[in-house]
Structure 1
């Protein structure tokens, strides 16, 4: 216990010495998490009415402290830029997919659901977990409308909204951040394919057990459903808008040199990509078939909830991420950095923080522990290639997989989780509370699978 106390004191000294935030400034983030976890369960009326004020107030408090006490305007501006980038992609994908109507003409059998979930998992790597979630959640709900249960939505979040997107930088924001830092585009496919396959197969197998029991209890309700074909798609022109959004993802100054940027204290910020995405959202919505929007029960409430909740999350998690980074780069923290601890550490914080900045912080700490700099393209490329730095490939693999997979552990681990939850609730599904989701589904179902992945691919690595 004494060394741990001494190390905490060392981190506190490091925080003070480098003008990092005090430890207590992480309290607003903890408060927000607790409110998200308990509000819908214990005081739902108050929470649903006042959560925007709570999120904005806590965000404003932390930003105010950074501006006027820490004299640090760079971190809040960075967080604001990341929030805009995050929301622009969410908005563009949500609005554009809302104009696409997919109908599956089949009985709601376990096999039909497994096929749909598997297609969604693969699609997540082509249009992102957000795009795949928004595109497939509505046909998934329609297919199972006579037998929909909570587990249907939870497994959708597990498979399509998170684990599925681990194979390409497009799949999930953490992997894209790694790509623009210098990790080769095909790196994730080469190194993540087997853990991805194992996790997806195990999740689908467990889902099948759940769904077969459900099928037996409601089979008579589905007997009247007659297949009319396989799949029908309306609003296919919006697929072109989706292609524009995915293309715009690569308009980053670190990828395309001619992209105009704003130089802010050495940080090159560009909003060309975000302007294109928001323009696509506007054009796709204004030209969408209103009948399709009605059939999809399209509205902006899920978007509003994510927008407001994540204002609070992005702002209040600033001190938490800085303190994590300070500890990881301290003498004691560096001793702890192995592929095993990177997997579980990245996973834990990706569950309760946004997984994209968690990926960056743990990658930066892991590289710094071996004398590499995440800001240098050549260092990142050498770190991803392996050979120069011990255990670098295995460490980066652990961070990549954990940041994506563990995002499914809570509603706030990844942006699409909240949106899927909100859409399901609007469709009449009573979703579990924050804590109930974790203790009823994440811990007993998802966590053992993540343990198996660790056991097979990381346990003997260090």
Structure 2
């Protein structure tokens, strides 16, 4: 298998990082003396402009200037990152700028990319063989299966495992965009709401003391309601579109490949990925590696080391032929790595402003979720959900978790409905946009690589507004009013 483009990208990134470190060495030494503090109360709404610009670039440029975007999206993303970093360093000093970059890189972005690469590589090594045909019933059953698997192996794991077989089964069909959109809704988001393994916000809740089975107990009914409505809508839509499609081409060789799995060792490796992630959450030796003021926990380093080893094992144990037949390539992973590097950087001020609570520029949002000192579950559901649609849903979950008191025992007891609303909003509404949850953009990139004309950023939001928002309104009325 040719891994040269990916390796070249990694070498280039390492070179840039080394050059940046050399240029910023004095600031790094300064930053290592003490942990700087970014006070979100000092940041106005203008600091969010680079993040908004990044989102608009993702939304508009593939339509307005497709060739420019395709060849230079990494440079455009880097430009928006610099549009934040340079003014930030000038205003708050190089020490704080370096600290924030290292903090987001070492504790958030690198672990995110390592996990995503592991899941992308391992799941990309599993190939379902046989004459898979995307009929309405088969597609609906596949979406239901993926929805169930998402809480077991995570939304990213389930999405990366099933998206290629789904695309292959529907390759002969003219109308298939809707199938990928519903796949993002269900498998990449809503299905991951029942365990801490399913989605990062629930894993953070688990680390804060929320019981492992608490989400399954309290989010099962909302998840079943939303999933049921979406699966029913999909089945009706697919039946109509299937009737307009040409019938699948008949085989000319008269030989039908039996249904089976190739690269089954990767299923074991997927289990190993889940174990490596759980390890970082349940093992806390209290040891950290200080890197210029940023304390990197030992459990995080061990978990990332295991994930890298699992990725290498998958590449070693899976034949190049099997990956080629599966349509595996590094293109989607490289695209996500570049774009999310800029997103993780430009999102820094937005998260800081939210953490400032009612004293920050978005204080009205925080204040609106309580009334007379009491939490309003419906407001928590929509506030956590809308922000999770555009920001990282994990820190957004934590912000509202703390806004509601931050005591896991109290939230699981007397305020169980509020915690359910926060959890459901953060997980469900990650489906509202391509950037709401990590696998959304991955699925889009893989589908486009297979020739599926996916909706634009705003086009996808039309789908979510038409299908998801009404279902979320029903959930609000049934569970949170």
TM category, shorter:
0.7 to 0.9
Structure 1 counterpart SS, 2:68: helix
Question: 1:84, CA displacement in angstroms?
Answer: 1.2
1:280 corresponds, among 310, 324, 333, to 310
The offset of 1:424, in angstroms, is 0.8
CA deviations on 1:177-223 (whole Å, 9 max, x unpaired) are 21122211111111100001011111110000111012212263367
Using the TM superposition, give the Cα deviation of residue 60 of structure 1 relative to its aligned residue in structure 2, in angstroms. 3.4
Q: How far apart, CA to CA, are the structure 2 residues paired with 1:98 and 1:128?
A: 15
Report the CA distance shift for 1:288/1:193 in structure 2 as closer, same or farther (over 3 A).
Answer: same
Gaps of 5+ in 1: 1-14, 368-373
2:103 maps to which residue? 78
Distance change (3 Å), C-alpha of 1:341 and 1:426? same
Change (3 A) 1:58 1:398: same
Q: Which residue of 2 aligns with 1:124?
A: 150
Aligned equivalent of 1:371:
none
Aligned mates of 1:17, 1:256 — CA distance in 2? 31
Q: What's 1:413 paired with?
A: 436
Equivalent residue runs for 1:198-277 within 5 Å? 198-218=225-245, 220-221=247-248, 231-252=259-280, 255-258=282-285, 260-262=287-289, 269=297, 270-277=300-307
Distance 1:104 1:395 in 2: 46
CA contact (8 A) 1:21 1:70 kept: no
Tell me, in whole angstroms, the C-alpha distance in 1 between the residues paired with 2:206 and 2:258: 37
Contact 1:354–1:413 under 8 Å retained in 2: yes
Q: Is the 8 A contact 1:325 1:362 kept in 2?
A: no
1:308 aligns with 2:377: no
**1:56 Cα deviation after fit:** 1.9
Residues 16 and 22, structure 1, Cα contact 8 Å, conserved in 2: no
SS of 2:128 mapped into structure 1: strand
Q: Which runs of 5+ in 2 are unaligned?
A: 1-36, 371-375
Q: 1:9: which partner in 2?
A: none
CA distance, structure 1, for counterparts of residue 39 and residue 467 of structure 2: 43
- Displacement, 1:385? 2.5
Name the structure 2 match of 1:363. Answer: 401
Using a 3 Å threshold, how does the CA distance of structure 1 residues 70 and 386 change in structure 2: closer, same or farther?
farther
1:145 Cα shift?
Answer: 1.2
Q: For the aligned residues, what is the CA RMSD? A: 2.5
Is 2:412–2:419's contact at 8 Å kept on the other side of the alignment?
no
User: Which deviations, in whole Å up to 9, do the C-alpha atoms of 1:198-255 show, x marking residues without a partner?
Assistant: 1111111000011101221226336769996984111001111111110000222x52
Instruction: Verify: 1:62 aligned to 2:89, yes or no.
Output: no
| Mapped pair 1:164 → 2:191 | yes
The Cα of 1:260 is off from its aligned counterpart by: 4.2
CA distance in 2, matches of 1:79, 1:85: 10
CA shift, 1:153, in A, is 0.8
SS class of match (1:69): helix
Q: CA deviation at 1:104?
A: 5.6
- Work out the CA distance in 1 between the residues paired with 2:285 and 2:261: 37
| 1:11 alignment partner in structure 2 | none
Q: Aligned partners of 1:402, 1:34: CA distance in 2, in Å?
A: 23
Which stretch shifts more, 446-455 or 201-210?
446-455
The partner residue of 2:138 within 70, 87, 112 is: 112
User: Is this contact kept in 1: 2:40–2:355, CA < 8 A?
Assistant: no
Report which stretch shifted further, 174-183 or 91-100: 174-183
SS class of match (1:271): helix
Q: Residue in 2 aligned with 1:344?
A: 382
Q: Tell me the matched-pair count.
A: 428
Change (3 A) 1:229 1:76: same
Q: Distance in 1 between matches of 2:265 and 2:38?
A: 55
The alpha-carbon distance between structure 1 residues 108 and 393, as it changes in their structure 2 partners (threshold 3 A), is same
